[in-house]
Amino acid sequence: MPVCLKLKSSTTIPLEVEGITPVKCAELSLKQIADLEMYHGNRTTTVGEWFDVSGDASDQHLRFEGDCSGVHWIGAKMDGGQITIAGNGGRHVGSEMTAGQILVEGNVGDWLGGEMHGGRIHVHGNAAHLVGSAYRGSRVGMRGGEILVHGDAGNEIGHSMRRGLIAIGGRTGDLIGFNMRAGTILAFGETGIRHGAGMRRGTIGLLGDTPTDLLLTFRPGCIYAAPAMQMILRHLDECGYPVPSSIRQRLLQIHHGDLLEGGRGEIFVCA
């Protein structure tokens, strides 16, 4: 049985719950969890002031209920266990997490999985900008783990990504894989422009039905079945992620780039 944190009331001032993780709460009583400090804007407050706390934390499972779109840093730096957001979440969900699983039944804000190191985030709704990306001024973004989004996402997905897997089922914005170092990003819907700009290594799959114009610094290669891509799609099946059936038997064309950065990255598009 999880610990349920039910939001009492909404607020236009951000609530920040960084550091309230399943592993930490597993060793605490419900009263101790309610007494944990968090922030309401620049004011220190407690969990119990904003959430009704119930359940049992021994199984390392936290469940957030209510419209938590104004609750930020849920699951930030978590190192195990599970978090369920039974609705919407705010910014920085799962940022810098190293292990565990986060399930979001609704939508989330910017910086989903920002600079995460491990674990899995599964979002059934939409995500905003900078999924799995580096923070401004940082050289490295996502270092490992998986981010699976069923719906749409915004700009700069996987900015400076080094390892891991990101999958976006719906539409995406511009600059997928900007400054990418390694890892895999798959986009199954309509995409924006300038994908892979500055990438050194890594794999981007632009697998939607709408043709995508690539930068001139990417050189087209062969058309083939891409066995490695089929392995990734089977892994997504095992994770319960809805891979479009139309993509499974299609041939893909590889493009090498960014040639300004050595040309060791690859972008796949449907042939």
**Helices (H) then strands (E): counts for the chain:** 4, 17
Rg (CA), the chain: 19
Mean pLDDT for the chain overall: 96
Q: In what order do the strands lie in the sheet with 71-72?
A: 43-46, 37-40, 15-16, 71-72
> What is the spatial distance between Cα 155 and Cα 174, in angstroms, rounded to a whole number?
5
Q: What is the pLDDT of residues 93-136, one digit of tens each?
A: 999 999 999 999 999 999 999 999 999 999 999 999 999 999 99
> What pLDDT does 18 receive?
95
157-182 mean pLDDT: 98
Residue 40 pLDDT level (bands cut at 50, 70, 90):
very high
Q: In the structure, what pLDDT confidence band is assigned to residue 170 with cuts at 50, 70 and 90?
A: very high
Q: How far apart are CA 222 and CA 251, in angstroms?
A: 10
